[in-house]
Chains A and B, each alone.
Chain A
Amino acid sequence: MRHVLALLLALQCLTAALAQERRSGFDDMARETQAMQREDAANPAMLWVDEGAAIWSRPAGAQSLSCANCHGAAEASMAGVAARYPAWDEGSGTAIDLAGRIAQCREQRQHAPALARESEGLLALAAFIGLQSRAMPLAPPADGRMQATRAWGEALYRQRRGQLDLSCAQCHDDNAGRRLAGSTIPQAHPTAYPLYRLEWQGLGSLQRRLRGCMNGVRAEPFAYGAVEMIAIEAWLAQRAAGMAVETPGVRP
């Protein structure tokens, strides 16, 4: 109990300390790109959200169950859910990200064919579910069991890696707001994922972006779904706690 209270206090202090200084990548974007995110009719990510809504209602697996069969209307049952991930998974005794939870539900409860990491189907569902938390504050669970994962995530965030020997913190904490080539370095908050990235001309997850960054510093990127990825996601969520969810976002 004391552990949980300490964690809650730490989270509150962190949130308060960073609240004034924190900036979403949205604020660093050009006006036109911001407009693309703001208007659902112009946001290409909404094509994936539409697909996700269709998958939600589509029966799958041996018992022909759809997500809706258990969860009902996503607008009600999934409200605020994406904002609470990564979270602790009782079954496996580890932290789990939203995509992992969706895939797990699909395989173990729906008994449907697995949705691979970064597949169109999984991205679509993640975008659709993420949308149900849009404008809500990112709310990493006050769960003491997540502490070790978040701490490891922070350590990975601060660790130098790759041929360029750079850590995430060196760009995104120490040099956020300054320019790298023609682009502004964002603070790197996970508030808008999965998002439509103009560079990809497609929808991608936070882990895809992390792999891109790791390639950028010429480091061996962590695999999709790797425990390191979940840990970094957990740390980034804590670091961004309280910021508004923007899913599905648009970024350059």
Chain B
Amino acid sequence: MTPRRLILASPALLLLPPPQPARASAEAMAAALRAFTGGAAVTPGRVTLDISPLVENGNTVPLSVIMPSPMTQAEHVRAIAIFNERNPQPHVVTARFSPHSGQAMLATNIRLATSQTIVAVAALSDGSFWSDSAQVIVTLAACLEG
């Protein structure tokens, strides 16, 4: 049998693409963001997301976020939520602050499945929302262990 006949005669040989792990998408991130803001307008600025643009290992990625604010009862940051675009689900962390926080600041280590955009959204006591985003390239470990 020629190779062409073999392929035509055997539908089973049709190769399907390997199943992809479920990933969040830009839509899922947008939906999660909307849930956090209640649909209110988000203005880029005032909050700073600090994450390296090039990451050695996606398993542990240092991240810090800060929003300058007097942190008084009258004027303070209520919360900062961080979202991702391409992990299996769009949430990373949501931090709650109070006037006793001193500073609206958080530092932690996160996991990134692949190169993607990270977005931080800050909610202020006056009801406004502010954001910052970062593009991160994630390189994979070279010698993948068994």
Is A–B contact present in the complex under a CB 8 A cutoff?
A: yes
Asked whether any CB of chain A lies closer than 8 Å to the CB of B35, the reply is: no
Q: Say whether A212 contacts B140, CB under 8 Å.
A: no
- Give per-residue flags for B122-146: 1 if the beta carbon is below 8 A from chain A beta carbons, else 0: 0000000000000000011111111
Interface-facing stretch out of A79-87, A90-98, A176-184, A238-246: A176-184
Q: How many Å lie between the Cα of A181 and that of B13 in the bound state?
A: 32
Q: Chain B interface: which of A27-35, A45-53, A114-122?
A: A27-35
* Cβ-neighbour of A201 out of B60, B140, B143, B146 (below 8 A): B60
* Chain B hits for A33, CB < 8 A: 56-57
Size of the A side of the interface (Cβ < 8 Å), in residues, is 21
**Do the beta carbons of B62 and A198 come within 8 Å of each other?**
no
* Chain B residue nearest in CB terms to A212: B145
Cross-interface CB contact of B142 among A31, A35, A36, A182, cutoff 8 Å: A182
Chain B 5-41 interface mask (CB, 8 Å, partner A; 1/0): 0000000000000000000000000000000000000
Q: From residue 46 to 76 of chain A, which have CB atoms closer than 8 A to chain B?
A: none
Residue of B nearest to A32 (CB): B62
Q: How far is the CB of B59 from chain A (nearest CB, A)?
A: 5
Contact among B52, B59, B141 with A183 in the assembled complex (CB-CB below 8 Å): B141
User: Taking the nearest CB of chain B, how far is it from the CB of A114, in angstroms?
Assistant: 26
Enumerate chain A residues within 8 angstroms of B141, measured Cβ to Cβ: 181, 183, 199, 252
Compute how far the CA of A252 lies from the CA of B57 in the bound complex, rounded to whole angstroms.
Answer: 6
Chain B residue nearest to A217 (CB atoms) is B143
Which residues of A are found within 8 Å of B140, using beta-carbon distances?
Answer: 181-182
The residues of A that contact B59 with a CB separation of less than 8 Å are 198-199, 201
- A182-B62 contact, Cβ under 8 Å, with A33-B56, A199-B57: no
> Which B residues are CB-close (under 8 A) to A198?
56-57, 59-60
Q: Can you report 6 A-B residue pairs in the complex whose CB atoms are below 8 A from each other?
A: A29-B56, A33-B56, A182-B142, A215-B146, A216-B145, A252-B56
Closest 9 CB pairs of A and B: A182-B139, A216-B143, A252-B56, A181-B142, A198-B57, A212-B145, A215-B146, A180-B142, A183-B142
